[in-house]
Amino acid sequence: MALLQISEPGQSTAPHQHRLAAGIDLGTTNSLVASVRSGAAETLPDSEGRHLLPSVVRYFEDSGHQVGAAAKAEATHDPLNTIISVKRLMGRGLKDVKTLGSVLPYQFVPGESAMPLIHTVAGDRSPVQVSADILEELRQRAESALGGELTGVVITVPAYFDDAQRQATKDAGKLAGLKVLRLLNEPTAAAVAYGLDRGRDGVIAVYDLGGGTFDISILRLSQGVFEVMATAGDSALGGDDMDRLIALWMMEQAGVSDDVNHFLQRRLLHEACAAKEKLSECEDTDLSLHLDNGVQWRGKLTRRRMDELIEPLVKKTLAPCRRALRDAGISAGDVQEIVMVGGSTRVPKVRAMVGEFFDRDLLVDIDPDKVVAIGAAVQADILAGNKPEDEMLLLDVIPLSLGIETMGGLTEKIIPRNTTIPVARAQEFTTFKDGQTAMALHVVQGERELVEDCRSLVRFELRGIPPMTAGAARIRVTYQVDADGLLSVTAQEQTSGVQAQIEVKPSYGLTDKEIETMLRNSLDHAREDMEARHLREQQVEADRVLEALQAALREDGDKFLSSQERTAIDQAAEKLAQLRNGDDHRAIRKAIEKLESVSTVYVDRRMNANIHKAMAGHAVDEFK
Amino acid sequence: MSSTLTQNHFELFLLPQRYVLERAELDARYRHMQRSVHPDRYASASDRERRISMQQATQINEAYEVLKDPLKRGRYLLELRGHAIEEQNSTHQDPAFLMRQMELRENLAQIREQDDPLQALDRLAQTVRSQYQALESELARALDGDADFEQAVTLVLRMQFFQRLQEEVQELEADLEDEFY
């Protein structure tokens, strides 16, 4: 049962219950969880006062696992079972993963979808499960710090993440038992943190160089509305790659051949990363590496040398910057604030090159490691319903064009990149053969003309098309991208009105069935009684539905409902309230559905009135 | 799935059905409406409310996208007036116009051979931009002033030519910059 805290008197005009919500930055290298407490967003530390949680999970033979600093400490000793940078594997296939082979030394085994599993001594784990283990750790930390169960979270993703990578993140949240209120783009989250901090309207660019991903987003802030104008990036470029360049140099200096074993590889990267961080403060640093032949190699790396090594990489980030500016229709000089996000932006060379590109001072005051989580916490607080008066709104975009495969292996773009979401587009198809009842669609993401150069997202099979003569059917396929940036497809045959059934086959994702299985098999849930879990879930849902309904009826039940309709709703609500205290979760579920069913007209009328009020409201107001 | 919005894009924004519009006004109304209906307001609400919210926000985004773009807005107005433009371009353009297009295309094709390609491209981009803007003004006159729909159709088709050209200019600009920097 979620603990509902009553807010302090004076903080709101009417007593309302504060829902516990958190923002989670699920990073490649480090993760954080933050929440709004007493009006301020702050990251939550663990019992030892550490805010950052290394995104490292170590698996043991007895099926146990360890998350965070303790796991990271052992990474060099147990590289095959200590999973780092799992974010790089989310929504990716074996081929993608093989190009990362030199950086990530794991043993991969094929899974049911094209996303491979990682072989560990605890069994084969999907990257989604590994991420869920990290999220679980953060959940426990948050619930411990906040003193109650979380009602919802916002999880951030790189803006440049495609649909498969986003879906994998959402699935991880589900596996960790979290209600994901929104998938929020990391640069947007950072813009929120800074935007609210500085309180100035204008154009903001967010340069986000994380461990494994790079994003550049251009936003316009106007009276609390953050509107993304354009976004670009590279979902396989980050601070880890800087480490690799330094490591390669070290190998050269130490006379180590290309063919290094996993242990040495880990030690090299660890030393490279430490050197990189040290050189952000100092002009040079000593290096020490234990080689395989027992020799302890010592060397020295200067900041100048490191700058030379990483310059091509930083240069690579400027191309997406140019593209984003072009797509936004502005020049570098039009940008008023540049926000730096991600630990790697502490490197002086990065700041120098980015500062030069925009010809402006950079905003670095909010800790670049924490800024994303903080922005996410602010959004979570609002989405959970704690701030009904707040005017903040985030209007984000789809980062990559969506298209479908057409004849000859070509793509036809349906939704261009940088279109504001949510967005829907429709296409009409017809049948080739007489009596054809099914149709297949292949959806891809990317900017290229050929399907093979784009990212395969998902294959849809439409079934149940009423049989007709060839060419007579008018099948309207609607592609909808929601506020999380996730695609769903519906199809309807227009002449008959029949809705086609859609079978979804994600190219790099888990099916609902796989998730259910993982949920059932996951350790925590095996111990817990599934029945008790379902009961609790339905009770929480019942409470939410009843509370929302009562609030609405108090406000306008008289206006929108006839006495007959009102009676039906009251009766269904009464029934639900009774069953809620029982222990039959199926009965509660049915009662919820019944209540929602009789409330449909009420909901529709309210929503309709709401938008008309919004339309009319502005004509009356003076706008600034 | 009930879509509660039957208004056309102009009606949705309470704007008169004219080509010329005040961009600042459109933007302000857009933000105002999204504040009310956007899924962010319904993240913790019921499935049905979330679904309707998404539909409404989607429709508002669609209307905004059409109204804020000069070419899309022109096409849309013509559609409302019963002069919808087919997807295929009409080739019934004035020969002088086609000549001009060919010249611009040739210019584009030869950019790489110039001494300073980026600067040459920038000059071409400016030319294309100013000609596009000139078309906008003419279209405003045709639609709002004279109600000359035939002329409006011609102008919109010309704007399409220019928009495609603009896209090619941008693509070349992207390639040149990536090679240069």
Q: Could you report the per-residue pLDDT of A322-348, keeping only the tens digit for each?
A: 999 999 999 999 999 999 999 899 999
Residue B55 with chain A: CB contacts under 8 Å: 424
Total Cβ atoms within 10 A of residue A460? 23
A218, A190 contact by CB (below 8 A): no
* Residues in chain B within 8 Å Cβ distance of A617: 32, 36
Cβ–Cβ below 8 Å for A483 and B39: yes
What would the 3-class secondary structure string for A548-591 be? HHHHHHHHHHHHHCCHHHHHHHHHHHHHHHHHHCCCCHHHHHHH
DSSP state, A397?
B
B57 closest CB neighbour out of A315, A422, A545: A422
Q: What is the pLDDT of residue A622?
A: 46
Output the CA–CA distances (angstroms, integers) from residue A358 to A270, A321, A361, A399, A543, in the order listed: 32, 10, 8, 22, 51
A611: nearest CA partner in chain B: B37
Cβ–Cβ under 8 Å, residues A175 and A133: no
What sign does the CA torsion over A79, A84, A86, A92 have? negative
Please state the φ and ψ torsions of residue A254, each to the nearest 5 degrees. Answer: -85, 0
* Residue A57 to residue A60: CA distance in whole angstroms: 10
Locate A135 and state its tokens.
């999220």
* Residue type at A584 in one-letter notation: D
B40 → closest Cβ in A227, A383, A615: A383
Residue with tokens 């294309």: B128
- Mean of per-residue pLDDT scores for chain A: 89
DSSP state of A87: G
Q: What are phi and psi of B38, to 5 degrees?
A: -55, 145
CA–CA gap between residue A345 and residue A351 (Å, rounded): 6
Interval A485-543: pLDDT, tens: 999 988 888 888 888 877 777 888 888 888 888 887 765 555 567 788 788 889 988 99
ipTM score of complex: 0.91
Of A477, A475, A466, A470, nearest in space to A493 by CA: A475
Let me know: does A58 contact A82? Beta carbons within 8 Å.
yes
| Contacts for A156 with CB less than 8 Å, ≥ 6 apart | A23, A24, A25, A26, A183, A184, A185, A186, A189, A372, A373, A375, A376
Tell me how far apart the alpha carbons of residues B155 and B105 are, in angstroms, rounded to a whole number.
19
Predicted local distance difference test score (pLDDT) of residue A544: 87
Helix H or strand E encompassing B167: helix B149-180
Summarize pLDDT for B20-49 with one digit per residue, the tens.
999 999 999 999 999 999 999 999 888 899
Looking at residues B117-130, what average pLDDT do you find?
Answer: 93
Place of tokens 């090159």: A353
User: Measured between beta carbons, which residues in chain A are less than 8 angstroms from residue B65?
Assistant: 419-420
Mark whether A78 is an active-site residue.
no
More confident residue, A212 or A379: A379
SS (H, E, C) A466-534: CCCCCCCCCEEEEEEECCCCCEEEEEEECCCCEECEEEEEECCCCCHHHHHHHHHHCHHHHHCCHHHHH
